[in-house]
Amino acid sequence: MSQPSRHKGSISRLLGEAVDGAAGRVEGIIDRLPGGRSERVIKRYANRKLYDTSTGAFTTLARLEELVRDGVDVKVIDHETGDDLTQETLGQIADRVARSDRDSGPVLSSFIRSPGLVAQAIEADEETKQELLELREQVAQLTELVGQLVADKADKAATSPRPRPKRRPTS
């Protein structure tokens, strides 16, 4: 039995919304997979509309915020000039978050006061990484040295004459 024609439009609309929602979730999963897209390119048009080139659809600042929170790197470029608008757009997102979360003031204040701390943390990570690389090199050298000492000892044991058993005096 077929459905009345007045319901076909609403069913099509609901199916379309379901498909769009599923496509968005699939895109999010792909972005988080190892080897997934490293960067989403978003084009901003003169009318301030944002177009996600990965999904082929217009998007919103709220969706970009979700992507960033999910660990996806975004790059926003001006459609006409090709200028990089990523910092400006991320600033808009940060402003939205700050306006909606009244407790974010201290975090934003400390970031503004000391952006050098972020650079120091990154530098400290690089120094730690370098120290670990040096330690790994030292361990490799020590492992090689111990291996040589063990091999030398085994060679000496194999080439040295075995002691002769003592003879008992005959009576």
- pLDDT (tens digit, 9 = 90+) per residue, 63-122? 999 998 888 889 999 999 999 999 899 888 888 887 787 777 776 776 677 766 666 666
Adjacency order of strands within the sheet including 50-52: 57-59, 50-52, 39-44, 73-78
**What per-residue confidence (pLDDT) applies to 157?**
76
| Pure H helices in 33-114 | 61-69, 86-100, 105-113
**What per-residue confidence (pLDDT) applies to 43?**
96
CA–CA distance, 110 with 99 (Å, rounded to integer):
17
- pLDDT (tens digit, 9 = 90+) per residue, 108-164? 776 677 766 666 666 666 677 677 778 778 887 888 888 888 888 878 877 777 767
